[in-house]
């Protein structure tokens, strides 16, 4: 994190990555002094509502983030930034996306949690687009020419107002990670009770075990004696919408999938007005993450710690288990939407536990043809997973 004082004093001269969060209401003109070097600009968590035309003077700018601000219109000047590749304006109040606001080199666009009802056709004219996050808006339709986004690999359209399945997306040749729950076309009026309901007062939360886009997982113990294990994990869902969709859809998907040796095991559910949570079997501490999330450079592909490798035996075992998980999910007409190594836990024997259903979508309500295409989309994610794991072969 940098300060405006540092920037104005010249201490940041020659900087390639700038992060400013000081409740800014106006774009600091001092940023333009970095025109010859600045490649990444992060103005998230401020009170900005506009950007100046002079932003286009930042000729080397490749990435701009401005989440959690007060924008109501995606700034048109973004389209004039000739080298801009990544745009992130999550959690603003954006209602309008001008047709000239999308630069031709764009390959990563995050507009999650805004108020957008429609998108310009110029979105379909971004041939390099790989990652597109539109969840949590008010989209009623999507541009037909999105069928031209032949490099699109990850797409989030959950929690919108799409009445019809956007067929133009289902044949995209590289689409692998697809989330679409929480739309009228994918509505699933299910209330699955395969696990019992419990009160949020029936357990006590302890240390945080992990957290993601949709919630926080904590270790917990029961307040009163139950038939459950004494120690469990509890995932408490965040807010009304996440970067992947509605928490209530994630809860229902977890229950619809049912039990499998290699999936996190649900034990109970909490569905109170002020608390939505899932009680899970506690994962043994000797399990660890198989991979790391994608980086800005890898965009959609997993990353791994430097020097990390696996034996051929473990590689074969991990792949075999994930193939079984894929079959189990789609046998229950569920698309995980986030089939990645970083959502997979593994132990020293190569046993895996797969979880994080935040981007998962049920698809039993779709036509047979649409269902088959959804399966093929996630089959690509499985193939990418296999490629990544095989690349870790020791020696």
Which amino acids are annotated as binding site for ATP, given as ranges? 235
Q: What phi and psi values does residue 359 have, to the nearest 5 degrees?
A: -105, 10
CA torsion through residues 316, 296, 360, 187, sign = negative
Q: What phi and psi values does residue 380 have, to the nearest 5 degrees?
A: -65, -40
Which 3 state secondary structure label does DSSP give 23? coil
Short-list 362, 344, 341, CA closest to 353: 344
User: Which residues sit in the known binding site?
Assistant: 235
Q: At what angle do helices 312-331 and 368-390 cross, to 10 degrees?
A: 170
DSSP string covering 33-100: GGTTT--EEE--SS------GGGGG-TT--EEE--SS--SB--GGGGG-TT--EEE--SS---B--TT
**What is the spatial distance between Cα 177 and Cα 34, in angstroms, rounded to a whole number?**
36
Cβ-based neighbours of 9, under 8 Å, separated by 6 or more:
none
């Amino acid at each position: 994190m940098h300060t405006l004082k540092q920037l104005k004093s010249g201490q940041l001269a020659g900087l390639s990555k700038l992060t400013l969060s000081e409740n800014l209401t106006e774009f600091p003109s001092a940023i333009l002094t970095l025109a010859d070097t600045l490649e990444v600009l992060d103005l998230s968590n401020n009170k900005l509502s506009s950007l100046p035309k002079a932003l286009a003077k930042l000729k080397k700018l490749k990435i701009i983030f401005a989440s959690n601000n007060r924008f109501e219109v995606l700034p048109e000047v973004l389209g004039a930034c000739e080298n801009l590749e990544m745009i992130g304006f999550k959690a603003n109040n954006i209602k309008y996306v001008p047709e000239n606001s999308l630069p031709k080199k764009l390959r990563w666009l995050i507009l999650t949690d805004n108020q957008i009802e429609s998108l310009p056709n110029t979105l379909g004219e971004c041939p390099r687009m790989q990652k597109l996050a539109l969840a949590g808006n008010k989209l009623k339709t999507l541009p037909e020419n999105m069928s031209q986004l032949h490099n699109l690999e990850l797409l989030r359209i959950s929690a919108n107002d799409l009445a019809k399945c956007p067929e133009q997306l289902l044949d995209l040749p590289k689409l692998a990670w697809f989330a679409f729950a929480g739309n009228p076309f994918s509505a699933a009026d299910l209330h699955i009770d395969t696990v019992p309901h419990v009160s949020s007062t029936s357990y006590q939360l302890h240390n945080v075990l992990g957290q993601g886009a949709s919630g926080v997982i904590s270790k917990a113990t029961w307040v009163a004696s139950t038939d459950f294990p004494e120690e469990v994990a509890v995932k408490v869902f965040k807010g009304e919408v996440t970067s992947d969709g509605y928490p209530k859809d994630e809860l229902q998907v977890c229950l619809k999938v049912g039990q499998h040796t290699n999936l996190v095991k649900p034990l109970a559910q909490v569905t109170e007005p002020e608390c939505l949570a899932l009680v899970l079997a506690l994962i043994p501490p000797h399990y660890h993450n198989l991979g790391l999330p994608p980086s800005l450079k890898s965009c959609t592909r997993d990353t791994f710690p430097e020097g990390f490798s696996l034996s051929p035996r473990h590689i074969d075992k991990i792949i075999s288990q994930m193939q079984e998980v894929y079959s189990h999910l789609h046998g229950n007409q569920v698309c995980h939407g986030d089939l990645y190594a970083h959502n997979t836990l593994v132990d020293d024997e190569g046993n895996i536990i797969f979880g994080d259903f935040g981007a998962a979508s049920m698809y039993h309500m779709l036509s047979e043809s649409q269902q088959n295409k959804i399966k093929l989309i996630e089959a690509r994610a499985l193939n990418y997973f296999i490629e990544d794991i095989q690349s870790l072969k020791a020696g």
